[in-house]
Each structure stands twice: as structure tokens, then as C-alpha cells.
């Protein structure tokens, strides 16, 4: 029927003196249909013909409309795009979510969801990791050790001027971590360089207020503490979101040209300290001993004084009592005093000789010579 309509159109155009439009190409199926023959079915593998009873012909007839296929593809792409917003924050991280480039929220550890790019984007900085910045030197290799053979000195960073106008080389490191991830990500563009530059500025100020002797010997702890506080104040003014854990001095020494002279000065200072300590030890040993002896002598003098005073007072009281008794009975008191005196004299003598008055008038009294009462050593045998 379609072919008759086409012939009729061509005939009309010839009658009107027009050229017939070109016919669209027809395949063998159309020609077979014009002849009343059944159409051969195309297989999905090419132009080969297969009988109508083959199952591949049935599958080729079950075609999905093009509009519905496009919708399914779009839905699959949308689903995959939405699923790409699932993310996981590790325990040592914090998730910072931006919506259209502006900060929106902060998420803790665990699984979370954010609208996929370009609506939202997620940054996950390590907030518990301790970072390290080196000033005045650089560690060589992956392992950050502090051995002299594995360090590379940076003279322009290490050379500093002390308060007494001496040059000293200071090598130190800074340990820090992220305290505020939002400030750390968006307030500064190069946080590592910021920490290094701020640490160098803080250390230069602290060293500039210190003496070289203090920086080299016993003032390192004070310098580290002051540098840590000053560096934290600088980073807080910048709003860097960084917490300074510690500033550690690795090596503090004078320039290489004068290091021998400084070593001699340090040795002399150590000798001076040693001698002073020895003198103080001798003084601490001698002074308490002298104070003890002085206190003992003072106590003995006070005791002797108290004894003499009490004895004198007792003798005076006794004499006053005797005086009163003598006034009442002179002869009896004198006789009593005589007896007491003789008792005291005779009680101290070992040998006593008693003689009556007649015998005492005829003998010569004598006093015992020293050594007569001592036993004499036995004599040895006489020689013939």
C-alpha cells in the first residue's frame, strides 16, 4: 500500500513537469514485502537472517524505548553522585565541611555524610598529630635524630645576638599540634613556614634579653620557657589555630672562631664554682662546730656563776644565823664552832696521835712530810 502511494506521487509530479524526489533506500525486507514474501528478521549480531522460530529474534523485538533508557542512566548517575558524599573521619582527625566554599560545620570521628562536590567539600586535618619544626638546622634523612652527623646547620637562622652584644649559634626545635582546625585551614596559607618564622623571631627576642653565659650554661630552661610563651602569643595574634607544646634547645654554642676561648672561660668558671663550693662546705662544717663550742662555754660560765652566787648567798645566810645565835649565847656558840672546826680537821687526817697535856709538853710536834704515807717499792737482792 505504501509502494502504490509512492508511485502515485511520482506520476503526479511527472504530469506537473517536476522531477521526482529521490527515493529513500530500501532494504531487502521492503522489497520482499512488496513481492508478498515474509520479512527476514535481523539478529542482534549483524545482518544475518535466522528463522522466525529462533529465540534471538524474540529478544531483538523486546527493545527499551530510548527515553526510558536515558532516564535510567540519569538516575544511576544521580545515585552514584549522592553516594559519593559518604565519608569517614578517623579518630585522630576532624572533618571540616564547606558549603559552596564557606565554612559550615565541624564533624567528629566516625562516618558522616556531606553533599557531594560542588555543593560541599570536606577537609580532614590530623588534630592529634604532634608536628615538628626545626630552626637553625635541618635533619638529614627520614629519621629526625639529633646526632651531629645527621644535622645540617643553617647559619642565617642559627646566628643570634645576646643582650651583652655577643654572637651565639642557637639550634632548636618546636613541637606543636592543631588546636583549631578551622583557623589552621583558612587563616594562614603556609602554617609550617609561619611556625618556623614566628619561632625564630621569638627566640631572637628572648636571646636578645639574655646574657651569653646564661644561654650557654644554666639559663637554658628559662630561655625555653620564655620562648614557648612568646611563640604562643604570636600565633594567637595571627589566629593560626596552633598550640605550642614545647620549644627545645638542641645546641647553643659560640661561633667556631672563638669557641676555644669560650671553653677556657667556661673551664675557669667551673673551677671558680668548685672552689667556692669547697669553701662553703668548709665554712658550713666549721661554723656549727664553733657555735656549739661557744654555746658550751657560755653554759659552763653561766652555771659557774650561778653556783658561786648561790654558795655566797648560802654562806652569808649561815654567817648571819651564827651571828644571831652568838649574840644570844656567846660561849656556847664559840664552843660549838670549835668542836665543828676540830671535827673537820681531824676527819681529814688518816693517822691520829693522842697525847695528854704532860706528854704533849715534852715532845716536838711535827708535820707529816709528803710521800711518807705512800708505800715504798721493794728493794732487790743485795750484791756481795
Tens of pLDDT, residues 196-238: 999 999 999 999 999 888 888 788 999 999 999 999 999 999 9
Number of H-type helices and E-type strands within the chain: 12, 13
Of 205-214, 302-311, 340-349, the range with the highest mean pLDDT is 302-311
Q: What percent of the chain has pLDDT over 70?
A: 74
Residue 180 lies inside a defined structural domain of this protein: yes
93, exposed or middle or buried, with CB in 10 Å at 0-12, 13-18, 19+?
Answer: buried
Looking at residue 195, what is its pLDDT?
Answer: 94
Cα 224 from Cα 130, distance rounded (Å): 18
Cα 182 from Cα 122, distance rounded (Å): 12
Residue 350 lies inside a defined structural domain of this protein: no
For residue 63, name the pLDDT band (cuts at 50, 70, 90).
Answer: low
Least confident of 146-155, 173-182, 319-328: 146-155
Same domain assignment for residues 149 and 207: yes
Range of the domain at 331: 256-343
Residue 276 lies inside a defined structural domain of this protein: yes
Same domain assignment for residues 148 and 201: yes
Query: Could you tell me if 285 and 202 are in contact, meaning their C-beta atoms sit under 8 angstroms apart?
Result: no
Same domain assignment for residues 140 and 248: yes
Of 37-41, 278-282, 379-383, the range with the highest mean pLDDT is 278-282
Which of 35, 61, 87 delimits the end of a domain? 61
Same domain assignment for residues 275 and 325: yes
Looking at residue 345, what is its pLDDT?
Answer: 80
Give me 88's grid cell.
569517614
Over 70: is that where the pLDDT of 381 sits? Answer: no
Same domain assignment for residues 88 and 164: no
Q: What percent of the chain has pLDDT over 90?
A: 33
Considering its fold, how many domains does the chain have in total?
A: 4
Tell me: the pLDDT tens digits for 235-269? 999 999 999 999 999 888 888 777 788 778 778 88
Residue 381 lies inside a defined structural domain of this protein: no
Residue 351 lies inside a defined structural domain of this protein: no
Among 173, 159, 180, smallest CA distance to 256 is for 159
Phi and psi at residue 117, to the nearest 5°: -60, 135
CATH number of the domain to which 186 belongs: 3.30.479.30
Query: Could you tell me if 200 and 247 are in contact, meaning their C-beta atoms sit under 8 angstroms apart?
Result: no
Residue 204 lies inside a defined structural domain of this protein: yes
Same domain assignment for residues 17 and 85: no
Which of 193, 224, 254 delimits the end of a domain? 254
Over 50: is that where the pLDDT of 367 sits? Answer: yes
Residue 370 lies inside a defined structural domain of this protein: no
Cα 165 from Cα 97, distance rounded (Å): 51
Tell me: the pLDDT tens digits for 25-51? 554 445 544 454 444 444 444 444 444
Amino acid at each position: 500500500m505504501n509502494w502504490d502511494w509512492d508511485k502515485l506521487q511520482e506520476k503526479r509530479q511527472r504530469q506537473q513537469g517536476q522531477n521526482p524526489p529521490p527515493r529513500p533506500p530500501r532494504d531487502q525486507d521492503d522489497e520482499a514485502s512488496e513481492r508478498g514474501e515474509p520479512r527476514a528478521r535481523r539478529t542482534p549480531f549483524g545482518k544475518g537472517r535466522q528463522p522466525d522460530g529462533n529465540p534471538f529474534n524474540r529478544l531483538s523485538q523486546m527493545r527499551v524505548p530510548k527515553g526510558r533508557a536515558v532516564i535510567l542512566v540519569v538516575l544511576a548517575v544521580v545515585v552514584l553522585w549522592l553516594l559519593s558524599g559518604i565519608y569517614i573521619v578517623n579518630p585522630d582527625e576532624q572533618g571540616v565541611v564547606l558549603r559552596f566554599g564557606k565554612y559550615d560545620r565541624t564533624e567528629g570521628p566516625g562516618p558522616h555524610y556531606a553533599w557531594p562536590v560542588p555543593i560541599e567539600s570536606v577537609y580532614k586535618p590530623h588534630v592529634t598529630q604532634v608536628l615538628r619544626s626545626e630552626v637553625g638546622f635541618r635533619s638529614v634523612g627520614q629519621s629526625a635524630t639529633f646526632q651531629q652527623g645527621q644535622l645540617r646547620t643553617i647559619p642565617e637562622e642559627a646566628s643570634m645576638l645576646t643582650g651583652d652584644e655577643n654572637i651565639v649559634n642557637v639550634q632548636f626545635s618546636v613541637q606543636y599540634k592543631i588546636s583549631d582546625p578551622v583557623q589552621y585551614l583558612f587563616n594562614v596559607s603556609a602554617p609550617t613556614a609561619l611556625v618556623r618564622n614566628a619561632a625564630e623571631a621569638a627566640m631572637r627576642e628572648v636571646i636578645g634579653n639574655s646574657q651569653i653565659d646564661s644561654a650557654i650554661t644554666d639559663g637554658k630552661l628559662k630561655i625555653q620557657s620564655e620562648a614557648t610563651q612568646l611563640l604562643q602569643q604570636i600565633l594567637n595574634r595571627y589566629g593560626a589555630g596552633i598550640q605550642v607544646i614545647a620549644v627545645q634547645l638542641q645546641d647553643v654554642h659560640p661561633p667556631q672562631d672563638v669557641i676555644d676561648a669560650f671553653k677556657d672561660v667556661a673551664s675557669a668558671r667551673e673551677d671558680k664554682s668548685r672552689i667556692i663550693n669547697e669553701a662553703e662546705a668548709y665554712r658550713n662544717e666549721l661554723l656549727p662546730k664553733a657555735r656549739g663550742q661557744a654555746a658550751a662555754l657560755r653554759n659552763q660560765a653561766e652555771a659557774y656563776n650561778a653556783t658561786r652566787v648561790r654558795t655566797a648567798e648560802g654562806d652569808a645566810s649561815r654567817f648571819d644565823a651564827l651571828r644571831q645565835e652568838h649574840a644570844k649565847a656567846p660561849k656556847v656558840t664559840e664552843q660549838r664552832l670549835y668542836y665543828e672546826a676540830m671535827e673537820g680537821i681531824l676527819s681529814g687526817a688518816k693517822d691520829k696521835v693522842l697525847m695528854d697535856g704532860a706528854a704533849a709538853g715534852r715532845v716536838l710536834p711535827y708535820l707529816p712530810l709528803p710521800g711518807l704515807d705512800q708505800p715504798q717499792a721493794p728493794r732487790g737482792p743485795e750484791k756481795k
